Chains A and B, each alone.
Chain A
């Protein structure tokens, strides 16, 4: 199942994920005339190929930050750069996997995965990439199924395949496993880790699961309550593949829970 046509991808993407620079980004929403500040002077840099997890209380502004990185919205102030170039709009080198799979219900699995290539007008010559991505997430038997025929975990795999087929340089994951049962989640965590290692793209992962963050990421950035400010930026330097029982990871997890004000329960 993990037999991707990596050779081709490796030559282009393994070499280089994108670098991301977030400089002094603040953002706010107008709600019924009142201003709701959501991001407060957030700055950080991500090196090419790094896996950074973003942790923070629910509603603090993590998804908003990801939308800014994706280019779906422009920040009120500050700049975001991909490989030094300002981000002014969405671009398929930065692909988002949203919390909900948001598959198009009128398209089959195959056509959902093909969406990006079709939108970019290169599907005709690149059909094999769609097949490879579907195989990668283990859904070859469901090519012609419609989204309403899939389980939640399968739908999220399709969403992942739909992102990966574009050979992203920056993969943006917004709590992609949040709604899955714990068994499926553990399996998919391992898959994401091995994918990232093989393909070399930069990854930005929002999660509310501290264990998931320390298990997967090189770095964990912890945010404060809304408006989100960076509270801590923690390196996780255990080698991959990691083990969930690793005492070093457990200690890190305890520290981070403390930062989030949850240490009393542990």
Chain B
């Protein structure tokens, strides 16, 4: 009866999380034997050195372009190198901060080396063509000099995304529960869902911008649509797959239909619902950016578009980084909520 295969859908984010967890683990580099002799964590010292190298790489050669923040970047790099070194040498004195930093030392090392290489390849020797590949100090410059506009854009994006996502998630959840629970609702809604659901929400963009009173409401609708479809399908399949045994138990104990929906079907379907929420988050990000690029005159997508128009590549990278942090933060928030609500599940993977 269901055209969407649940087990496959359920498997998806699980593997994403596992992927993330795996990526974090696989980076613990083998310790150099020299540091075995020292009473401190070797990779912390090396990481500190890598950041110092980054700072030096900023100052050693002349910049090939006109960037005003080179010195500040270099100083920041030295400060970070110092913090890493002090934290490493003070061992367990710094408690959780120290332990967390030690755990991330291999990452800090790689990051320091990457930044050094980036600095040298762009600002110093121009191995990468210049306007397209700005050096780190150019991006830092965006954050220091264009901050208000960037913050405004980020705020506009969050507002638009949040509104559309909440509307889509609630509507999808209610629709999913209704289809899963009631045969007659399923009869009417299922064909519509099959017809409209798989359509990428961005395909509606031209029509939506004509028919809605504002581009903002059109975008909200599209984001809600992109969120609502996976949430509906997964909530529905979650409700439909609840074992009859649970209903039997509840019914023999005197449960009425409302109890069966609210206290049996919905809690049992919740793990599926969260998979739907996760998938909806992903597809709504895509709609958000496209909508901002095409119609809405604000937000990070619009900022990207604007930066491209002025060939301000550093601004584009800066906006991308902010966007990535926001998206990742949203997913983290979703998983935190899930972990809290689904403590009863054993072996929930950490994001």
Interface residues of A (CB under 8 A from B): 67, 70-72, 90-92, 94-96, 98, 100, 102, 104-107, 115-116, 118-120, 146-148, 162, 166
Whether the pair B264, A92 counts as a contact (CB closer than 8 A) is no
Whether the pair B344, A148 counts as a contact (CB closer than 8 A) is yes
Whether the pair B270, A106 counts as a contact (CB closer than 8 A) is yes
Q: A98-B245, A119-B259 are in contact. Are A72 and B346 (CB under 8 A)?
A: no
Among B252, B259, B344, contact of A107 (Cβ-Cβ < 8 Å): B344
Please give the distance in Å from A179's CB to the nearest CB on chain B. Answer: 14
Q: A98-B248, A146-B344 are in contact. Are A104 and B267 (CB under 8 A)?
A: yes
B residues less than 8 Å from A95 (CB atoms) = 252-253
Judged by a CB distance under 8 angstroms, whether B345 is at the interface is yes
Whether the pair B252, A102 counts as a contact (CB closer than 8 A) is no
Whether the pair A90, B254 counts as a contact (CB closer than 8 A) is yes
In terms of DSSP, what is the predominant structure of the interface of chain A?
loop
Please give the distance in Å from B166's CB to the nearest CB on chain A. Answer: 24
Please give the distance in Å from B180's CB to the nearest CB on chain A. Answer: 17
Whole-angstrom CA separation of A107 from B263 in the bound complex: 10
Chain A proximity mask over B252-282: 1 for CB below 8 Å, otherwise 0:
1111100100011001101000000000000
Whole-angstrom CA separation of A105 from B345 in the bound complex: 8
Please give the distance in Å from B287's CB to the nearest CB on chain A. Answer: 32
| Chain B 69-124 residues near chain A, CB threshold 8 A | none
Instruction: Please give me the 10 A-B residue pairs with the lowest Cβ-Cβ distance, nearest first.
Output: A116-B253, A92-B254, A119-B255, A120-B254, A90-B251, A106-B267, A106-B344, A102-B245, A146-B344, A90-B252
Please give the distance in Å from A68's CB to the nearest CB on chain B. Answer: 12
In terms of DSSP, what is the predominant structure of the interface of chain B?
helix
A residues less than 8 Å from B343 (CB atoms) = 146
Judged by a CB distance under 8 angstroms, whether B250 is at the interface is yes
Task: Kindly name the residue among A70, A118, A147 whose own CB sees the greatest number of chain B CB atoms within 10 A.
Answer: A118
Whole-angstrom CA separation of A102 from B267 in the bound complex: 15
Whether the pair A119, B250 counts as a contact (CB closer than 8 A) is yes
Chain A proximity mask over B129-163: 1 for CB below 8 Å, otherwise 0:
00000000000000000000000000000000000
B residues less than 8 Å from A72 (CB atoms) = 248, 251-252
Whole-angstrom CA separation of A142 from B299 in the bound complex: 51
Judged by a CB distance under 8 angstroms, whether B249 is at the interface is yes
A residues less than 8 Å from B35 (CB atoms) = none
Whole-angstrom CA separation of A71 from B248 in the bound complex: 10
Q: A102-B246, A106-B268, A118-B263 are in contact. Are A148 and B346 (CB under 8 A)?
A: yes
Please give the distance in Å from A4's CB to the nearest CB on chain B. Answer: 19
Interface size class of B (residues with CB under 8 A): 20 to 34
Among A67, A102, A119, A162, contact of B254 (Cβ-Cβ < 8 Å): A119
Please give the distance in Å from B347's CB to the nearest CB on chain A. Answer: 9
Whole-angstrom CA separation of A96 from B248 in the bound complex: 9
| Chain B 210-251 residues near chain A, CB threshold 8 A | 243, 245-246, 248-251
Whole-angstrom CA separation of A204 from B88 in the bound complex: 69
Among B249, B251, B255, B256, contact of A102 (Cβ-Cβ < 8 Å): B249
Among B245, B250, B270, contact of A115 (Cβ-Cβ < 8 Å): B250
Whole-angstrom CA separation of A98 from B245 in the bound complex: 9
Whole-angstrom CA separation of A94 from B249 in the bound complex: 11
Q: A102-B249, A104-B268, A146-B343 are in contact. List 4 more A-B contacts (CB 8 A).
A: A90-B252, A92-B252, A98-B245, A104-B267
Whole-angstrom CA separation of A111 from B256 in the bound complex: 17
Whole-angstrom CA separation of A98 from B247 in the bound complex: 12
B residues less than 8 Å from A90 (CB atoms) = 251-252, 254
B residues less than 8 Å from A162 (CB atoms) = 249, 253
Whole-angstrom CA separation of A153 from B252 in the bound complex: 22
Whether the pair A91, B254 counts as a contact (CB closer than 8 A) is yes
CB-based nearest A residue for B250 = A119
A residues less than 8 Å from B243 (CB atoms) = 102
CB-based nearest B residue for A99 = B245
Chain A proximity mask over B316-351: 1 for CB below 8 Å, otherwise 0:
000000000000000000000000001111100000
B residues less than 8 Å from A120 (CB atoms) = 253-254
| Chain B 271-307 residues near chain A, CB threshold 8 A | none
Please give the distance in Å from B251's CB to the nearest CB on chain A. Answer: 4
Q: A105-B344, A106-B267 are in contact. Are A100 and B254 (CB under 8 A)?
A: no
Please give the distance in Å from A78's CB to the nearest CB on chain B. Answer: 21
Pairs A–B under 8 Å by Cβ, sample size 13: A67-B248, A71-B252, A72-B251, A95-B252, A98-B245, A102-B245, A104-B249, A106-B268, A106-B270, A106-B342, A146-B343, A147-B344, A162-B253
Whether the pair A92, B344 counts as a contact (CB closer than 8 A) is no
Please give the distance in Å from A129's CB to the nearest CB on chain B. Answer: 13
Q: A72-B248, A98-B248, A106-B344 are in contact. Are A119 and B256 (CB under 8 A)?
A: yes
A residues less than 8 Å from B248 (CB atoms) = 67, 72, 96, 98, 102
Whole-angstrom CA separation of A90 from B345 in the bound complex: 30
Whether the pair B245, A166 counts as a contact (CB closer than 8 A) is no
Please give the distance in Å from A63's CB to the nearest CB on chain B. Answer: 11
Whether the pair B344, A116 counts as a contact (CB closer than 8 A) is no
